[in-house]
Amino acid sequence: MLLTVTVLLMLIPSTCGKNPAVQVTLTDKGLQYGKHAGTDWFQDHLGNVTFPDISGGIKIKIFGTIDYALTGIKIIKCDLPEPSVDFYPDATGFKTSMSGLSIALNGEWRTHYGIIHDGGTFDMAVFDVSVLSVVELGKDDDGHLSISSVSCEAKVGDVNIVFQGGGSWIFQPFVHHFTGRIGREIQSRICPNVEQIIVTLEHHLQAMNVSFDVDQALSLDLSLTDLPVIDASKLNLGFKGEFYSIKSHTDPPFEAQPFTIPEQQGYMLAMGLSEYTLNSASYGYYSSGGFQAFINDSMIPPGCPVHLNTSLMGPFIPQLPKMFPGLLMYLQVYAIKAPMLSFHSDAIKLGVQANVKAFAIQPNGTETPLFKLGVDSQFNSKVWIDGQKVKGSVSMNNFTLTLVGSEVGEFETDPLERLAKLGVNLALTKVNVKMGKGFDLPRMKHSQLVNSVLKMQEGFIALFSDAEVL
Ligand SMILES: *[C@@H]1O[C@H](CO)[C@@H](O)[C@H](O)[C@H]1NC(C)=O
Ligand SMILES: *[C@@H]1O[C@H](CO)[C@@H](O)[C@H](O)[C@H]1NC(C)=O
Ligand SMILES: *[C@@H]1O[C@H](CO)[C@@H](O)[C@H](O)[C@H]1NC(C)=O
Ligand SMILES: *[C@@H]1O[C@H](CO)[C@@H](O)[C@H](O)[C@H]1NC(C)=O
Ligand SMILES: *[C@@H]1O[C@H](CO)[C@@H](O)[C@H](O)[C@H]1NC(C)=O
Ligand SMILES: *[C@@H]1O[C@H](CO)[C@@H](O)[C@H](O)[C@H]1NC(C)=O
């Protein structure tokens, strides 16, 4: 038993103790903006709230018990004061309070007194409603964010009712007998309703996917790694942020390093993305057989002075035109390990190690291997945000070719290296035109990021931003 527990305890850190590779911080500015937008939304949708019927019996001295029912209750007007919402570290959640809410309602009344049935309409005003709710955030076993109600208190200040139609003039004088009771009735229904909203929210959170297929090869795991962390000024969520190959589903042979998003005043949100996330994508592609390419002569632009034709290879491999004259060639390019990125405060560095195998295509279709080259290359990249776009640039830092094997004898690789560098630089020019035009910041259905800045850091990249509800 003790052994089992010990073994389990030893397993826990390795399965649950992963560092988050994606972090999201919500600041108080963001919370207040979200609350404001939420209040507007709620105000717009309050008209759709349906009230349950209220019924009961009222004892009136001279008459005895009158059974009553208030039905079809609808909100006519509601002055929703802006609630206050704050981070509440005591409960790892939020504390919401609202006071001074007044609601005007109308509906139909029916009374039943002995054999006398009567009915009409009523106008009701409920004054000075206050609600105090505390919710707790957590994480379930699958890494979903969870929310639950910790406490709720509701108070109704005063209720006034004016009855119309039927014999309303008979019991309107006794309205004070109704109001206290109806006030308590309304009061007792507020918190169950608040709790129902929280339960509905929790169902939505549970139904959300924490893993997304990005394409046929890769899936992104965005489950929470830890409980949410809350202090008086912010909420921090840590997500796994790992891409993995759908086919093999193996973790990469490296781990996410811990990082802390630096403080930056004045923004609603901060996000941190570890180099781990991108490297796990690279590893996922690599282990599912990505990073391979075949290059044949029809892919080389017609105007290009160099073609994949053995007769034109003389300047680079002098013996080749003599050994295999007039044959088309093709190249097989493949990474020999997953390309790795590293984030630094001045640049993103990308290292690519690949092999290039060259073949000659015989007239009868047979492919004759010619030689194999090793490529070791390093690129530097910068990314920044310009308005609503992420822009960037890439440059080649280092590029070396080495001869790994040859069926056509030794040759100097320097001329080929110069040619390849030229080709890579040409390709980078095109990439830079694209990156210079930029890519739109990710947009959600009902909101977008504004005033965003990117900050490069050692090992991660931080995004500070405001959000705008559309
Ligand atoms: C609220 O009611 C209005 C009209 O009464 C309707 O158009 C709208 O779709 C309703 N909204 C919801 C969320 O039910
Ligand atoms: C959640 O993931 C499942 C399986 O990948 C998919 O079928 C479903 O459409 C996803 N749901 C949402 C809301 O993205
Ligand atoms: C070159 O490759 C492309 C794409 O794989 C293919 O469509 C084309 O037929 C190939 N050309 C030659 C000459 O083999
Ligand atoms: C290769 O280049 C030589 C010399 O320009 C040319 O004669 C030959 O037709 C080319 N071979 C093919 C298959 O295009
Ligand atoms: C194709 O031609 C090459 C060179 O002429 C020859 O070595 C090879 O045996 C031939 N292959 C077939 C299958 O005919
Ligand atoms: C480029 O790579 C070669 C071989 O790996 C290395 O010797 C050289 O120092 C590198 N140059 C730069 C500028 O990184």
Residues 467 and 424 in one domain: no
**CATH number for the domain harbouring residue 185:** 3.15.10.10
What is the 76 CA–ligand 1 centroid distance (Å)?
14
Distance CA 118, CA 165 (A): 9
* Nearest-atom index, ligand 4, CA of 328: 13
Count of the separate structural domains present in the chain? 3
Ligand 2 mutation pick, 203, 209, 220, 222, max ligand atoms within 8 A of CB: 209
CA dist 404 to 75, 247, 337, 355, Å? 80, 31, 16, 8
What is the 394 CA–ligand 2 centroid distance (Å)?
35
The angle formed by the CA atoms of residues 131, 134 and 160, to the nearest 5 degrees, is 10
Q: What is the pLDDT of residues 65-112, one digit of tens each?
A: 888 888 998 888 888 888 999 999 999 999 999 999 999 999 998 988
Residues 132 and 150 in one domain: yes
- Cβ-based neighbour number of residue 236 at 10 Å: 18
Q: And the tokens for 3?
A: 């052994």
Residues 238 and 296 in one domain: no
Among residues 179, 207, 235, which one ends one of the domains? 207
Q: And the tokens for 148?
A: 């639950």
Which residue range is the domain that position 394 belongs to?
291-437
Residues 175 and 53 in one domain: yes
For strands 116-139 and 22-27, give the pairing: unpaired
Q: Which ligand is nearest to the CA of 351?
A: 6
Among residues 140, 175, 207, which one ends one of the domains? 207
273 occurs within a structural domain: yes
Q: What is the pLDDT of residues 209-244, one digit of tens each?
A: 999 998 888 999 999 999 999 999 999 999 999 999
What is the 5 CA–ligand 3 centroid distance (Å)?
60
Distance CA 364, CA 466 (A): 64
**CATH number for the domain harbouring residue 380:** 3.15.20.10
212 occurs within a structural domain: no
The band of 5, judged by pLDDT with boundaries at 50, 70 and 90, is: very low
Q: What is the pLDDT of residues 270-328, one digit of tens each?
A: 999 999 999 999 999 998 888 999 999 999 888 888 899 999 999 999 999 999 999 99
User: H/E/C letters for each residue in the chain?
Assistant: CHHHHHHHHHHHHHHHCCCCCEEEEEEHHHHHHHHHHHHHHHHHHHHHCCCCCEEEEEEECCCEEEEEEEEEEEEEEEECCCCEEEEEHHHCEEEEEEEEEEEEEEEEEEEEECCEEEEEEEEEEEEEEEEEEEEEEEECCCCCEEEEEEEEEEEEEEEEEEEECCCHHHHHHHHHHHHHHHHHHHHHHHHHHHHHHHHHHHHHHHHCCCEEECCCCEEEECCECCCCEEECCEEEEEECCEEEECCCCCCCCCCCCCCCCCCCCCCCEEEEEEHHHHHHHHHHHHHCCCCEEEEEHHHCCCCCCCCCEHHHCCCCCCCHHHHCCCCEEEEEEEECCCCEEEECCCCEEEEEEEEEEEEEECCCCCEEEEEEEEEEEEEEEEEEEECCEEEEEEEEEEEEEEEEEECCCCCCCHHHHHHHHHHHHHHHHHHHHHHHHCEECCCCCCEEEEEEEEEECCCEEEEEEEEEEC
Give the pLDDT score at 9.
Answer: 44
2 occurs within a structural domain: no
217 occurs within a structural domain: no
Q: Which ligand is nearest to the CA of 332?
A: 3
Residues 53 and 196 in one domain: yes
Residues 81 and 21 in one domain: no
219 occurs within a structural domain: no
Give the pLDDT score at 8.
Answer: 45
Among residues 207, 235, 256, which one ends one of the domains? 207
Residues 235 and 371 in one domain: no
**Closest Cα to atom 8 of ligand 6:** 398
Please determine, for residue 24, whether its predicted confidence score (pLDDT) is greater than 80. yes
Residues 162 and 250 in one domain: no
Give the pLDDT score at 64.
Answer: 80
Residues 359 and 420 in one domain: yes
**Closest Cα to atom 1 of ligand 4:** 326
185 occurs within a structural domain: yes
Lowest mean pLDDT among 249-253, 294-298, 428-432: 249-253
Give the pLDDT score at 17.
Answer: 59
* Nearest-atom index, ligand 5, CA of 365: 1
Residues 417 and 297 in one domain: yes
Q: What is the pLDDT of residues 398-411, one digit of tens each?
A: 999 999 999 999 99
What is the 48 CA–ligand 1 centroid distance (Å)?
6
What is the 362 CA–ligand 5 centroid distance (Å)?
7
3 occurs within a structural domain: no
Residues 315 and 410 in one domain: yes
Distance CA 415, CA 313 (A): 11
Q: Which ligand is nearest to the CA of 397?
A: 6
Residues 26 and 100 in one domain: no
315 occurs within a structural domain: yes
Distance CA 41, CA 51 (A): 19
Give the pLDDT score at 173.
Answer: 78
What is the 287 CA–ligand 3 centroid distance (Å)?
25
